[in-house]
Amino acid sequence: MSGFESLLNRYLSIQPQSESENTLRLLIQLGLMVTGAEEGSLLVLNDETNELVFAMTIGDADSDATLRGQRIPLGQGITGLAAATLEVQIGAPTFKVVHQSSRQETPGSGPEAVMAAPMMVGERLVGVITAVSFAKAKRFTTHDGKLFGGFAAIAGVVVGQTQRLSALDQPSPDAASSASDEPPDRIARSIARIARERPEAMEEIAGLLASIERLVAGP
C-alpha cells in the first residue's frame, strides 16, 4: 500500500481507487479549474498531533511525491489557519517549512497565491483542501474563496458518508465474535454494501423494507 493510500485510509477510511477517492480527486480538479489555480492538495487531520498531513496533490506528479507525508501544524500558514479557524483563508504563502518539488524551488518559481478551505464532517474537522497558483501577481478573490469553500463542503459530505458506511460494514472488534452474526448486524452490513455498490437502488430497498415491516409488525 502506497503512502497516499495508507494516509487516506488511515485518517478518512477512504479505500484506494474507490468511488470516494475518485470523487475527492474530481472535486479538487474542479476547484482548480473554476478558480484558475494550477495545483491543489488534500491534507488530512492528525488530531493526535494537531497537524495536517499532505495526502494527495493534483496538478503535478513531482509535487504529489514531494509533498505527500509533509506536515503543517494547525494555525501555521494559510493552510494551518484555515484548519484552526474553520474558515476559508486566502493569501500569499507564509509557511516556508514545506518543501516544494525541485522545479518549484528554483528562484522565482515558487507559489504566488494560496487558498485553503476546511473539510468538515458535521462540526468535526477532518482535513483541508488547498489551491495554489504559481502565476506572477496572481491573487485569489473572495468569490474564488466562496466557490472553493463549496467544493470543500461537498468533500466533507463524501468523507462523512464513506465513514458511516465503513462503520456499518466493519463491526467493532468487541462485537465481531458475538454480534456480527446476529440478524440486525447482517442486515446492516447488507444495506451498507448495497448503498456502496448500488446507491441508485436504495429507494427500492427502502420500499421493500417498508413492505416487510407492514407484513411482520402490522400497519
Would you say residue 186 has pLDDT above 90? Answer: no
Residue 180 per-residue DSSP state: G
> What residues contact residue 143 under an 8 Å CB cut-off, 6+ apart?
none
Residue 128: strand, helix, or coil: strand
* Gap between the Cα atoms of 86 and 123, Å rounded: 9
Q: How confident is the model at residue 32 (pLDDT cuts 50, 70, 90)?
A: very high
Q: Per residue in 133-154, pLDDT tens?
A: 999 989 999 999 999 999 999 9
* Gap between the Cα atoms of 70 and 51, Å rounded: 10
What pLDDT, on the 0 to 100 scale, is given for residue 124? 96
How far does Cα 17 stand from its chain's mean position? 14
* Gap between the Cα atoms of 109 and 75, Å rounded: 25
What pLDDT, on the 0 to 100 scale, is given for residue 218? 66
What pLDDT, on the 0 to 100 scale, is given for residue 1? 44
Identify whether the C-beta of residue 156 lies closer than 8 Å to the C-beta of residue 126: yes
Of the two residues 81 and 172, the one the predictor is more confident about is 81
Would you say residue 178 has pLDDT above 60? Answer: no
**Alpha-carbon distances, residue 96 vs 9, 100, 130 (angstroms):** 28, 9, 16
What pLDDT, on the 0 to 100 scale, is given for residue 177? 47
Q: Per residue in 18-30, pLDDT tens?
A: 889 999 999 999 9
What pLDDT, on the 0 to 100 scale, is given for residue 185? 63
Average pLDDT across the chain, whole number: 83
| Cell numbers that stand for 199 in this block | 446507491
Q: What is the mean pLDDT of residues 115-127?
A: 96
Query: What does the chain come to in residues?
Result: 219
* Gap between the Cα atoms of 136 and 207, Å rounded: 57
Q: Per residue in 63-105, pLDDT tens?
A: 889 999 999 999 999 999 999 999 999 998 876 656 665 545 5
Which domains, ranges and CATH numbers included, belong to the chain?
A: 3-167 (3.30.450.40), 171-217 (no CATH)
